[in-house]
Amino acid sequence: MKLRRLGLISYALTCFSLQASEEKEEMVTIEIDRIRTDILTRTDNLLIDTFADATDPYLEGYIQALIDVHYYEYQVVVIVKNHKVYLANLPNNDLLSESIISFVDDLPGVESVEVADLSEAEEEAREAYVEQPRLNGIWFPQSTVLFAPLIADPRQPVNSVAVRWGDRVIGHDVAAISLGDDFPIFRWLNVFRCEGDLQIGIEAGIWSVFNYSDSLGQGRGWCELINTDYLIAIPVTYALNSWSFRLRIYHISSHLGDEFLCNHSEFLKHRRNPSMEAIDFFSSYQASSHLRLYFGPGVILHRDPSFNMKTLYVQYGAELRVFGSKLYYHRLYGTPFFAIHVENWQVRDWNFDVSMKLGYEISKLQGVGRKMRIYVEYHDGYSYEGQFFKKRTEYGGIGLSWGF
């Protein structure tokens, strides 16, 4: 009898265990489906999973709130009719406008996105239930810079680390590190008759190179700090539709590394100080969502007497981005890019100096905002390292950068 009771108890526990296992497996399946749904939509931005049954005013309010979080300073207006989204008051900046449209188009429940102008009746009806901010400008804008950085420029203030090979001036094996950023201070909105955005900011950058070979060390140097350059600049930028402009005044100074000077005492007698103050003006044209072109002349206003620098220079280049796609799992955007930057300096007899980068960039918002880039590079022209500025060199490398 006892054995029979034990058998019944054992059978009941087995059935309960199997049922619990089936329920757990079903819960895991449901969770996997939910995660898959979240990955394939931008529900990380939303408080509910779908807007399929939401009313137009409800959907309109959510989208307006999301845009205000990411693009508050541009006062974009959202109108929803039959789950079709109409965006008005987009910024007069094609790159930003495309980024906002793409952001809204990714949201679940949105059937289409169109750009529209509000009629007077629509504006009055909207003001009845929406209080719109009235801004003439904004302190410390967060979304992006108005003049995008020049990717292939060797002296673009950005955070990066790279390894180079083949440099016959600094050394065959070189590590290059930079720290820099463009910090926007104040942005005026809808400036001048064409109603573009005007911004003033501050730029700062540091570039250091380390020699890991012995091309300059004569058996005494390994991992030498060769040179460090410092830059401080005040850029004033203006953006309108496909155009952006930058007027910048800057100071740059250069300093040979202590390890290099210890290993090369002869440079103590021939020390030069290639410091200067200069001003440049760049124009950038976003020809399409894939291609950007830019050009700018510069004038050296003052230089240190120990390092002769003639007055003029020009810089120009292009950036191509193709085959961009959404990385659904991480909710990011990935885009391959190719960039070329060319310089001609009077002090170098107007000879060509060419830098190229090929790589892949990742960003949270399409086209704008902070990014990370991994790239291979090739440089054919002159060294940028302090008093070696007039010496020809050629090298390749691989690097990682982060910033705008």
Q: Which two tokens stand for residue 97?
A: 């406008």
Neighbours of 247 (CB within 10 A): 16
**Residue 44: strand, helix, or coil:** helix
Q: Is the dihedral of CA 184, 190, 196, 198 positive or negative?
A: negative
The CATH number of the domain holding residue 262 is: 2.40.230.10
Please check whether residues 230 and 342 belong to one and the same domain: yes
Confidence at 47, pLDDT banded by 50, 70, 90: very low
Residue 357 host element (H or E): strand 352-363
Q: Which domain holds residue 20?
A: 1-39
Would the pTM count as exceeding 0.85?
no
Mean pLDDT, the chain, rounded, equals 81
**Does 49 score more than 70 pLDDT?**
no
Q: What is the mean pLDDT of residues 57-84?
A: 80
Count of domains for the chain = 3
Strands 112-115 and 84-88: parallel
Residue 263 dihedral angles phi and psi, to the nearest 5°: -85, -10
Cα–Cα nearest to 354, from 339, 336, 369, 370: 339
Q: What residues have CB less than 8 Å from 8, skipping those under 6 apart?
A: none
Please check whether residues 191 and 117 belong to one and the same domain: no
Neighbours of 189 (CB within 10 A): 19
Cα–Cα nearest to 397, from 340, 357, 351, 343: 357
Which of 107, 133, 159 is the last residue in one of the domains? 133
**Residue tagged 């901010």 (tokens):** 133
Q: Beta partners for 379? A: 355, 395
Which tens digits make up the pLDDT trace of 315-352?
A: 999 999 998 888 866 778 899 999 999 999 999 999 99
Percent of the residues in the chain that have a pLDDT greater than 90, as a whole number: 39
Q: What residues have CB less than 8 Å from 403, skipping those under 6 apart?
A: 149, 157, 158, 159, 180, 181, 182, 370, 371
The CATH number of the domain holding residue 53 is: 3.30.70.2210
pLDDT for position 299: 97
Please check whether residues 326 and 257 belong to one and the same domain: yes
Residue 332 host element (H or E): strand 332-345
Please check whether residues 237 and 369 belong to one and the same domain: yes
Cα–Cα nearest to 243, from 297, 292, 182: 292
**Does 196 score more than 70 pLDDT?**
yes
Please check whether residues 29 and 55 belong to one and the same domain: no
Which of 85, 103, 133 is the last residue in one of the domains? 133
Please check whether residues 297 and 369 belong to one and the same domain: yes
Secondary structure E strands in 215-311: 224-240, 243-256, 276-286, 291-303
- What letter does residue 193 receive in the DSSP assignment? T
Please check whether residues 87 and 18 belong to one and the same domain: no
Which tens digits make up the pLDDT trace of 277-317?
A: 999 999 999 998 899 999 999 999 998 888 888 899 999 99
Which tens digits make up the pLDDT trace of 96-140?
A: 888 888 888 877 777 788 888 766 666 655 555 455 555 577 888
**Residue 221: strand, helix, or coil:** coil
Please check whether residues 146 and 125 belong to one and the same domain: no
pLDDT for position 51: 60
**Residue 262: strand, helix, or coil:** helix
> Rounded distance, CA 174 to CA 121, Å?
65
Residue 31 dihedral angles phi and psi, to the nearest 5°: -65, -40
> Rounded distance, CA 134 to CA 382, Å?
50
Distance of CA 4 to the CA centre of its chain: 74
Which of 81, 114, 133 is the last residue in one of the domains? 133
Residue 168 dihedral angles phi and psi, to the nearest 5°: -85, 0
Please check whether residues 8 and 61 belong to one and the same domain: no
Please check whether residues 80 and 222 belong to one and the same domain: no
Please check whether residues 4 and 151 belong to one and the same domain: no
pLDDT for position 276: 92
Q: What is the mean pLDDT of residues 363-392?
A: 90
Among 11-25, 223-237, 313-327, 358-372, which is the least confidently predicted range? 11-25
Neighbours of 130 (CB within 10 A): 12
Residue 62 dihedral angles phi and psi, to the nearest 5°: -65, -45
Please check whether residues 359 and 399 belong to one and the same domain: yes
Strands 84-88 and 392-403: unpaired
pLDDT for position 136: 76
**Does 146 score more than 90 pLDDT?**
no
Distance of CA 289 to the CA centre of its chain: 15
pLDDT for position 95: 80
Q: What is the mean pLDDT of residues 167-178?
A: 90
